[in-house]
A and B are shown apart, each in its own frame.
Chain A
Amino acid sequence: MSSINEALALEAPGPRRRRRLRRDAFLPYALLTPAVVVVLIIVFAPMIEALVTSFYDYVLFRPNAAAFVGIANYVKLFHDPVFWTSLWQTALWIGLTVPLQMGLGLIAALLLNRDFAWRGLARALVIIPWALPSVVIALMWRWIYDPNIGVLNDLLLRLDIVRAAIPWLASPDVALYAVIATLTWQGFPFFAVMILAGLQGIPKSQYEAAAIDGASAWRQFRHITLPGIGPILATAGLLRTIWVANSIDVIFVMTGGGPGYSTYTLPLFAFVKARQNLDFGYGSAIAVTFTVILGAIVAVYIARTMREVER
């Protein structure tokens, strides 16, 4: 792919061109300034503030007793068994939810890309799980999972798949997976929509040429579709990973982190400490640690798989 530098190297720049060059050099910065400024003020400043708070023993209802404690909060955190449980569960949480959402979304996108009469309606309906507020989804699924009056257990019992109702959200072994299932349901339309848009960028002529050459549907998928949406999949997957890692609305309403700590994730842990126990020093330490860990994973991910972005 030619870059602007290569193109310009082919001809000696005249005076007008030179002025334009200098203007163009500033153009990217000019284009970016609004985004950067807004984000810097609104998010970066509070992030730094939270980082500073993590070095203090700061409890919200004792504002005058705040004391600088250096890395004491972090030491306490690494000795806290809840931290390690949350870390492991966060990994499980992300590791299962994102691929499941992506897989289901890919299937949906491929299907909705076909030409059929009621396509518009189908596309609009598929977006509903994503369009509902988290609290409605959490309450709805809590009701569905309820062992006493819920629909799921009712169905399983009728179909004789189980002999007794399963307490989906009350059993520490099952609760996390039940919430993961709910989140998969909530999030797959995101991938469906993003991949659908990406599919539009693949020229139909490629498929036609392949069909003429006798390639099967599967081969067309592997060699035309997948590479065509590769960058989109990589980016959407990355963004969704960050979003899923941070999302606590649904878990909070469905189980509150329980039973015990079996549905705790790191951001939920930070939320409970900061907002419920009002221990801002410790909560900030958890948040910072989480961001660092997630940041490291993201950095590795980008370095290894997203060379396409560097085109």
Chain B
Amino acid sequence: MSRLKLKLAAAAAALVAGLGLGQANAETVRFWYHFDNPDNPMSGLVQKFEKQNPGITVEADNVPWNSYYDNLYTAIIGGNAPDAAMVKLFAQPRLVEMGALEPIGKRIDAWDGKKELLDNLLTLNAGPNGKQYYLPIQYVVLYLYYRTDLFKEAGLQPPKTCKEFREDAKKLTHAPDRYGFGFRGGKGGWDQWGTFVFSRGAKLEPGGLTTPEAIKANQWLVDMFRKDKSIPPSAPNDGFQEIIGAFKSGKTAMTIHHIGSANDLVAALGDKVSAVPVPKCDGHAWTSYGDESLAIFSASEHKDAAWKWISFLAEPENNVAFVKATGQMPVTKTGSKTYDGHPKRFVEATVNSLPFAHVLPQTSATSDFVNTEWQTAMQQALTGQITPKAMMEKLQGLFTK
């Protein structure tokens, strides 16, 4: 071979070798998330991370929320799961049972950012077997929205007890133009229902839903719809869009939701909307803690890189950028102190509700309860197809072990 050819061959070989080595260093982390904001603020965070960590590429995919979990389960079973993803507590029991999650307890303990996380968030997000799979990334707590103008007009103060709540709702009702309370009977409304039923002692466990107190509590709520008629007749099919829409237009004077909708409501109503923690029923309050965390999947081949990415997102500054896009609350102490993404009154309502904010028990029956069973039973009870007592018995059938 001529010397030129030799040189060329050597150069080619070196190039190929270099590429090979380069490939060995460049890792790709596949990450799934769901943002309501379509303008893709994730790209800013991805760029920042990649600058800090040359050699790791992050492929972040925004998966439509409606099919997020369907797609995730399919991908896991089909062998094409991402390396990391945003996940919620209701999915944890199933994912753990599938063996799909990677325990990250040790990594968290060794991590600098651990002390930055708000107290007891890690406990709330612990796995069913005591191991830690979830890294909290944001949260919301449900509180009571009320129309300041309508309350002033009726000469009422926002309710502190359930008794006051029911009375206020009746007084504020001028059917068919206005109703006291916008109840969400469609999917996802269990967190409103819980405020009135779990606070009175009902529990998602064997025998916990059919105690006299639990049945009475459910009856109380259904009576508000069927007897007092202080809840709009559309409640059985109302989802998040409907209750917020009705509240905005003045069709309802109160509803229960969280800070994720606060900015939207303020843009529409300004000072006419405010929030307080949910009322206490018989001296106890219960409200839902809306969680969101990040997890690494056990089938991932880039677990270290994935951990770097998700812990990056949980650092104070990045976490604040993250929640600015999602409209929820940051999980770090520093972030919470300086967070100005929402008007103060809503942040206060959220923080003041933390002491009695709960998550549902971590069992796979809970997934069914949350996904399909609660709303079907609730709709039947509201429309009179079954009695409130029968509804509780039906739901009890899910929790029998």
**In the complex, B235 has a CB within 8 A of chain A:** yes
Q: Are B187 and A256 in contact (CB under 8 A)?
A: yes
CB nearest to A264 among chain B residues: B376
CB nearest to B379 among chain A residues: A259
Q: How far is the CA of A62 from the CA of B371 in the complex (A)?
A: 18
Which residues of chain B (35-83) have a CB below 8 Å from chain A? 66, 70, 73, 77
A255 touching B237 in the complex, CB below 8 Å, given contacts A148-B246, A148-B249, A260-B383: yes
Q: A residues within 8 A CB of B385? A: 172, 260
Binds A, one of B91-99, B141-149, B291-299: B91-99
**In the complex, A147 has a CB within 8 A of chain B:** yes
Instruction: Give the number of residues in B that approach A within 8 Å (Cβ atoms).
Output: 37
Q: A residues within 8 A CB of B232? A: 147-148, 167
Over the window 73-114 of chain B, the binary record of Cβ atoms lying under 8 Å from chain A Cβ atoms (1 yes, 0 no) is: 100010000000000000000110110000000000000000
Q: Tell me what chain A mostly uses at the interface: helix, strand, loop, or mixed.
A: loop
Which residues of chain A (134-177) have a CB below 8 Å from chain B? 146-149, 164-165, 167, 169-172, 175
Q: Are B73 and A258 in contact (CB under 8 A)?
A: no
Q: How far is the CA of A164 from the CA of B233 in the complex (A)?
A: 10
Q: Are B185 and A164 in contact (CB under 8 A)?
A: no
Q: Tell me what chain B mostly uses at the interface: helix, strand, loop, or mixed.
A: helix
Q: B residues within 8 A CB of A278? A: 73, 94
**In the complex, B242 has a CB within 8 A of chain A:** yes
Q: Are B251 and A149 in contact (CB under 8 A)?
A: yes
Q: B residues within 8 A CB of A258? A: 186, 236-237, 375-376, 379
Which residues of chain B (199-241) have a CB below 8 Å from chain A? 232-238
A149 touching B379 in the complex, CB below 8 Å, given contacts A175-B237, A260-B385, A277-B371: no
Q: Are A61 and B364 in contact (CB under 8 A)?
A: yes
B34 CB to nearest A CB, Å: 16
Q: Which of B98, B245, B246 contacts A63 (CB 8 A)?
A: B98
Q: How far is the CA of A311 from the CA of B143 in the complex (A)?
A: 70
Q: Are A170 and B234 in contact (CB under 8 A)?
A: yes
Q: How far is the CA of A49 from the CA of B236 in the complex (A)?
A: 38
Q: Are B176 and A275 in contact (CB under 8 A)?
A: no
A257 touching B234 in the complex, CB below 8 Å, given contacts A63-B98, A146-B242, A148-B242: no
**In the complex, B368 has a CB within 8 A of chain A:** yes
A170 touching B376 in the complex, CB below 8 Å, given contacts A61-B73, A61-B97, A275-B70: no
Over the window 35-74 of chain A, the binary record of Cβ atoms lying under 8 Å from chain B Cβ atoms (1 yes, 0 no) is: 0000000000000000000000000111100000000000
The 5 closest A-B pairs by CB, nearest first: A259-B379, A260-B380, A170-B237, A259-B236, A61-B94
27 contacts between A and B (CB under 8 A): A60-B98, A62-B97, A63-B98, A146-B234, A148-B242, A148-B246, A148-B251, A164-B175, A167-B234, A169-B234, A170-B234, A170-B383, A171-B233, A171-B383, A175-B237, A255-B237, A256-B186, A256-B187, A258-B379, A259-B236, A259-B237, A259-B379, A259-B380, A260-B236, A272-B372, A277-B371, A278-B73
